[in-house]
């Protein structure tokens, strides 16, 4: 039987890396890098179950947690300085980004940064969405995104979008 100290490398620490952007209090600035996938989200045993738009369940698993409409997209987080997945279930944020996309002066949300300011907490949480003037995607963001294989459709099957599987569908915005 091997020595317990040989089980893991001596400098090993459990990763705390999270691949998802969660809005924090204050300003949250990001650049959308992919078109969103959209659908519905339910929860069971503290795990999300996501469904395509056409497959919305007729009722939630837990009646206390309603089924929510979601968007999920790849973004660059300026605060964390890395590529993450942003899931948006807040209808107000979705409506504002949709309105920006339809606005002739703003257009495609992948062509400018967005700042979401979160204030309050619990049922009193509010979000303000502000577009930041158009500018090209920075080279460091392109480079960080370009080396990744991300398949957002894995969210529908409970898979890991960052798992290096062959990519299905268009995701690269460049």
Is 41 among the domain residues? yes
- Domain-embedded: residue 12: no
- Measuring CA to CA, which residue among 10, 4, 134, 28 is closest to residue 80? 28
**What pLDDT shows up at residue 168?**
46
Which of 153, 162, 152, 137 has the alpha carbon at shortest distance from 17?
162
- Of 38 and 168, the one with more pLDDT: 38
Placement of tokens 């949300």 in the chain: 109
Q: How confident is the model at residue 164 (pLDDT cuts 50, 70, 90)?
A: very low
Rounded to whole angstroms, what are the CA distances from 57 to 49, 61, 68?
Answer: 10, 9, 11
- Average pLDDT on 102-130 reads 96
Mean pLDDT (the chain, rounded): 88
In a domain, residue 173? The reply is no
139 vs 48: CA distance, rounded Å: 34
Residue 73, classified by CB atoms within 10 Å of its CB into exposed (0-12), middle (13-18) or buried (19+), is buried
Query: 163: pLDDT confidence band, cut at 50, 70 and 90?
Result: confident
170 — pLDDT class (breaks 50, 70, 90): very low
The answer as to whether 123 is a domain residue is yes
Check residue 48 and give its pLDDT: 92
Quick check: is 5 in a domain? no
The whole-number average pLDDT for the span 101-110 is 96
DSSP-derived secondary structure letter, 145: H
| Closest CA relative to residue 173, chosen from 140, 128, 136, 118 | 136
Query: Tell me: the pLDDT tens digits for 73-102?
Result: 999 999 999 999 999 999 999 999 999 999
Please tell me whether the overall predicted TM-score, pTM, comes out greater than 0.85 for this model: no
Print the domain residue range for 66.
Answer: 17-156
Residue 163, domain member (yes or no): no
Residue 59 in any domain: the answer is yes
Average of pLDDT values for 24-34?
97
Kindly state whether residue 137 falls inside one of the protein's structural domains.
Answer: yes
Report the number of distinct structural domains present in the chain: 1
- Residue 49 pLDDT more than 60? yes
């Amino acid at each position: 039987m091997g020595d317990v100290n040989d089980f893991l490398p001596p400098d090993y620490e459990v990763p705390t890396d999270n691949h998802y952007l969660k809005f924090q209090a204050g300003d949250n600035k990001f650049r959308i890098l992919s078109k969103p996938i959209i659908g519905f989200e339910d929860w069971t045993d503290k795990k999300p179950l996501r469904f395509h738009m056409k497959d919305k369940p007729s009722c939630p698993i837990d009646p206390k947690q309603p089924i929510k409409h979601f968007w999920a997209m790849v973004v660059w987080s300026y605060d964390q300085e890395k590529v993450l997945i942003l899931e948006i279930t807040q209808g107000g944020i979705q409506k504002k980004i949709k309105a920006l996309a339809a606005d002739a002066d703003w257009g495609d949300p992948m062509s400018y940064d967005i700042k979401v300011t979160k204030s309050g907490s619990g049922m009193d949480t509010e979000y303000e969405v502000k577009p930041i003037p158009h500018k090209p995607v920075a080279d460091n963001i392109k480079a960080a995104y370009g080396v990744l294989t991300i398949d957002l459709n894995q969210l529908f099957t409970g898979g890991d979008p960052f798992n290096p599987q062959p990519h299905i569908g268009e995701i690269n915005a460049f």
